[in-house]
Amino acid sequence: MSSLPEHPHPTAKIGKAELLAALQNFLPADAILHSAEQLRPYECDGLSAYRQVPMLVVLPSNVEQVQQVLRLCYDNNVPVVARGAGTSLSGGALPLSDGVLLSLAKFNQILDIDTFNRTARVQPGVRNLAISEAAKPHGRNRSLPPQQNKHQLGHLLPTRSTC
Ligand SMILES: Cc1cc2nc3c(=O)[nH]c(=O)nc-3n(C[C@H](O)[C@H](O)[C@H](O)COP(=O)(O)OP(=O)(O)OC[C@H]3O[C@@H](n4cnc5c(N)ncnc54)[C@H](O)[C@@H]3O)c2cc1C
């Protein structure tokens, strides 16, 4: 296992206990992971040579909650890393030890499919397989290699991925 390079960022203004209490004001209990055994599965993405347990993991289920998490973290200099399915082979979803890992897994709705314009409006946590299956009845084939079916579509913009 390799050691991690430092990511310089301003020192956080609050610690874990204070941040947890603040998050509990607007997130349900099951949307915050904070014990060692809850956090361990998030210590790496597909690049498992690098591992770092995050300070906290949050799993919001609506836009307002995401906004509140980001506002709270921004105001207190707490770094945030977004996580899709965690399949990246480049360590992009690797958390920071003093940061929050923001899982978009609950944003898994396909909002609409426009077959005429060949577009779809989806939430970021929709997986490749789900959009492929939803497009099929409309005669659209978006087949990908099976190992890419797990990717969530929210990763497309930050990674400039083609799939
Ligand atoms: C087997 C395999 C084959 C691949 N083949 C290709 C290929 O042919 N072409 C190609 O271009 N790519 C390819 N990739 C790369 C793939 O597209 C990326 O790994 C992609 O990021 C995986 O999606 P994910 O949901 O697992 O993202 P994650 O691994 O969870 O995240 C990847 C990055 O995106 C950020 N992120 C994720 N979701 C969001 C969000 N909602 N908002 C903001 N940031 C977010 C994360 O912080 C992280 O930096 C391949 C990957 C694998 C594992």
Tell me the backbone φ, ψ of residue 11, rounded to 5 degrees. -65, 135
**Is residue 133 a part of any domain in this protein?**
yes
CA distances to 13, 111, 131 from 61, in Å: 26, 15, 20
**Is residue 5 a part of any domain in this protein?**
no
CATH number of residue 89's parent domain: 3.30.43.10
**Is residue 87 a part of any domain in this protein?**
yes
Q: How many domains does the chain have?
A: 2
Do residues 88 and 117 share a domain? no
Tell me the backbone φ, ψ of residue 111, rounded to 5 degrees. -80, -45
**Is residue 10 a part of any domain in this protein?**
no
Express each pLDDT in 111-143 by its tens digit. Answer: 999 989 999 999 999 999 999 999 999 888 877
Structural domain boundaries enclosing 36: 16-103
Cα-based angle 75, 79, 81 (whole degrees, multiple of 5): 130
The CA 54 to ligand 1 mean position distance, Å, reads: 19
Express each pLDDT in 60-82 by its tens digit. Answer: 999 999 999 999 999 999 999 99
Res. 42 pLDDT band, cuts 50 70 90:
very high
The CA 63 to ligand 1 mean position distance, Å, reads: 21
Substitution site in 65, 161, 162 for ligand 1 pocket (most atoms within 8 Å of beta carbon): 161
Which ligand 1 atom minimizes the distance to the CA of 154?
41
Q: What is the mean pLDDT of residues 92-120?
A: 95
Helices marked H in the chain — which ranges? 16-23, 36-39, 63-75, 128-135, 156-159
Express each pLDDT in 44-63 by its tens digit. Answer: 999 999 999 999 999 999 99
Tell the residue nearest (CA) to atom 18 of ligand 1: 88
